[in-house]
Amino acid sequence: MQWFNPVRWLDFKAVFGIPPIEWLYAAVAFVASYFILSGALRVCVARLGALSARTSTHFDDMIVDVLDRTHRLTIVMASLLIATEFVDLSSKWDSRISHLWFLVVGFQLALWVNHGVSVWTARRLDSAAVTAHNPVITTMMSWMLRALLWSVLLLAVLANMGVNITAFVASLGVGGVAVALAVQSILSDLFASLAIGLDKPFEIGDFIVFNDVAGSIEHIGLKTTRIRSLSGEQIVCSNTELLKNTIHNYKRMAERRIVFGFGVTYDTKPEQLRQVPQIVKTAVEAAGTTRFDRAHFKQFGESSLDFEVVYYVTDASFNLYMDIQQRINLDLMTALSERGMEFAFPTRTLYVVGNGATQAQPSTRNETTRPRIRAFGSPSASRNG
């Protein structure tokens, strides 16, 4: 009986003309390479994480995060390619293995850069930094970097495999023109978004008014801008159409100019009328956050002696303006009443002719005139209420 000889068995060419001993060496090399690469990656991430914890910059934190997201398939493929060095392959496999190495390394580099762009974008769009960085520019830069990254990777892989990328790029240019013509509306909104990001006519949180739309900016996207209206619903507007309108941005109002008028009765004496401008000035200055401009006896009205007042609210808040105007109105009513002056209301005199005699009979309507208030540079009450 012939005894089993393992050395002779391992020298037998069993699979693809390669001795089993080489397959065994390749398997051992694959397992060893996988554990060595995985262990080296973990040690590198742990050391860099410990170093980044002692620094105040975010760049080293991003590197740790990127390395920690190394794809396991990359380690497996790299281990397999290392294992092929222990197998006696034909010469035609040399170029194929080099192409595979290029593909594996290039794919992993692209994944690292792509994740780095994602981390960078997320940090710039963070709520604490959104006021410092324009979200539109950040989003567009992120999109462009990703598109450039994967395009370069694709062209590099094709060039490495022997494909003539010059003709390929030329055909892509022709095809790009055709696609651009087909999606010109989308591209128009895209460039409008870029214009919003560069020119910054408004930002997230600004209160704007255009046409019959009034609301606060919630999101500025690559194609549309979302506005939260005063009545609660969300308005989605195309960036191109939005920029075609005249936009009133009330968030950037430095101060608000207010013009309002009121009238007193005709039986008010001149000495009392001379006191009114000072009364108004005192009421305006006492309201706070205001800058008094003028108060004048403007004209003789149909049923009142009319005054016009101009002042500035040094804060852009519409609610604050309404509080100040209410305080001024109440102070005026109190001060005028204390001095024996009354607000005018509409009156009309009727001349009745009858029996050869003419009688003048005054007729009044029990109406109280409302002070005529007009605020320049502020939205209407329906928009800001």
Domain ranges of the chain: 6-161, 186-252, 256-384
CATH number of 186-252: 2.30.30.60
Domain 256-384 is of which CATH architecture? Answer: 2-Layer Sandwich (3.30)
pLDDT tens figures, 327-366: 999 999 999 999 999 998 887 777 787 665 545 455 444 4
The whole-number pLDDT of residue 227 equals: 93
Indicate whether this model's pTM tops 0.85: no
pLDDT tens for each residue of 201-255: 888 888 999 988 899 999 888 788 999 998 889 999 988 889 889 999 988 888 8
Indicate the Cα dihedral angle 184, 187, 188, 193, nearest 10°.
170
Distance CA 353, CA 356 (A): 7
The reported pLDDT for the residue numbered 49 is 79
Confidence class for position 272, pLDDT limits 50, 70, 90: very high
Q: Which residue has the higher pLDDT, 88 or 83?
A: 83
Q: What is the pLDDT of residues 151-160, one digit of tens each?
A: 888 878 777 7
**Does the pLDDT value for residue 294 go beyond 90?**
yes
Tell me which residue has tokens 């108060």: 295
pLDDT confidence band for 371 (50 / 70 / 90)? very low
- Do the first three CATH levels of 186-252 and 256-384 match, i.e. the same topology? no
150-204: pLDDT as tens digits: 888 887 877 777 777 776 666 666 666 666 666 667 778 878 888 887 788 888 8
Interval 309-320 mean pLDDT = 90
Mean pLDDT for all residues in the chain = 79
pLDDT band at 309 (very low <50, low <70, confident <90, very high): very high
Q: Which residue has the tokens 């149909």?
A: 302
Q: Is the pLDDT of residue 370 over 50?
A: no
pLDDT at 154: 81
Is the pLDDT at 60 greater than 50, yes or no?
A: yes
- Report, as an integer, the average pLDDT of 97-125: 83
